Structure 1
Amino acid sequence: MSGVAVRPVRPEDHPAISTLLNAAFGGAEESVLVENLRGAGDVVLELVAVADDAIVGQILFSRLTVGDDFDAVALAPLAVLPANQRHGVGTALVKAAHDQLQASGESLSIVLGDTAYYGRFGYTHARAAGYDSTYQGEHLQALAFREAPIAGALTYAPAFGAL
């Protein structure tokens, strides 16, 4: 999709993001998750994709801890309006976010999702197999930007406990 710009989220974007999340996921669970992550101050990075002055995609990374004290990030959610899916919007969001996370010194990102999709960006279950998590399984994947633990308990932001 040409003409897509990726930028940080602004407070005035929140209603449009809720609408986007509800459309992309077919319900309000993810929009409530995002509101709770924001309200708790657990958002590390949130970006939107904009085309023709409309928000067509969103990505959010929240704080996650490995073991007792290693800070990492959790990618959730990544959403694109259904009419804009399969046009590179999600890819643009993931790549821009990864660039910003690496530049800010983050070391490790965890995602629970489609292995084929997230594998395109370097996420693997093999990298996440040593983590103790209620989400452990083939869809739990990790991507290390630099040296990071390969084992330990994953502690997600409290907002994930409501899912």
Structure 2
Amino acid sequence: MPQQAWRTRAERPDDVARVHEINVDAFERSEEAELVDALRADAAWIDGLSVVSVDADDRPVGYALLTRCHIDDTPALGLAPCAVVTAQQRTGAGSAAIIAALDAARVLEESTVVVLGHADYYPRFGFGRAVDHGVRLSIEVPEDALMVLSLDGTDIPSGTVRYAAPFGI
């Protein structure tokens, strides 16, 4: 499908069920959708950092979530999950949601974002290999899969990423 300009906005209460559907559809399982539901009830949740991309009818089709994590004791954000309904994948809906979420985090004066994902996808948003900044997880993952981004140009803190409890790592 061709790239298109997507409108984005913060998730609203009436989007919760649809966000659940987006994650189940995109991942073809319920774990990510259940993770989002659990994070909504966790202290890691930050209002305004759950972002949807919407179609012409204002129906969410893409999703990106930033929640509080820490690199050692330094507050950071974790980007996960990111999802797009199957019918709208490769149209830019996911990228639009991610960019809007990162922009919202900048407005909140956040400085560092961590993502565990595809090494060929996230660098387009400015993410680089976490290992190059001394950032690691408590579990083994491919070095290229863990990435970090400085939102404000400050140095990325080194240490071990501690995600919110619902992540289970």
What TM-score results when the alignment is normalised by the length of structure 1?
0.91
Q: Deviations over 1:29-56 (max 9, x none)?
A: 0001000100113222101111032210
Look up the SS of the partner of 1:21 in the other structure. Answer: helix
Aligned amino acid, residue 82 of structure 2: L
Q: Which residue of 1 aligns with 2:144?
A: 138
On the 8 A contact 1:66/1:149 being kept in 2, the answer is no
Q: Which residue of 2 aligns with 1:94?
A: 98
**Structure 1: runs of 5 or more not aligned:** none
Query: Which has a greater percent of helix?
Result: 1
How many residues are treated as equivalent by the alignment?
A: 161
Correspondent of 2:119 among 92, 115, 136: 115
Correspondent of 2:84 among 77, 80, 83: 80
How big is the alpha-carbon RMSD for the aligned residues of Structure 1 and Structure 2? 1.7
What aligned pairs does 1:62-81 form with structure 2 within 5 A after superposition? Answer: 62-68=67-73, 70-81=74-85
Correspondent of 2:39 among 37, 49, 58: 37
Alpha-carbon distance, 1:128 to partner? 5.5
On the 8 A contact 2:129/2:145 being kept in 1, the answer is yes
**Structure 2: runs of 5 or more not aligned:** none
Say if 1:37 and 1:21 are closer, same or farther in 2 by CA, change over 3 A: same
What TM-score results when the alignment is normalised by the length of structure 2?
0.88
On the 8 A contact 1:58/1:78 being kept in 2, the answer is yes
Q: Distance in 2 between matches of 1:135 and 1:38?
A: 27
Indicate the larger mover: 17-26 or 122-131: 122-131
Look up the SS of the partner of 1:57 in the other structure. Answer: strand
Structure 1 residue ranges, 4+ long, deviating more than 6 angstroms after superposition: none
Q: Deviations over 1:69-99 (max 9, x none)?
A: x110000001011110111111111111111
Q: Distance in 1 between matches of 2:126 and 2:5?
A: 26
Say if 1:135 and 1:55 are closer, same or farther in 2 by CA, change over 3 A: farther
Say if 1:127 and 1:109 are closer, same or farther in 2 by CA, change over 3 A: farther
Aligned amino acid, residue 10 of structure 2: P
Identity %: 34
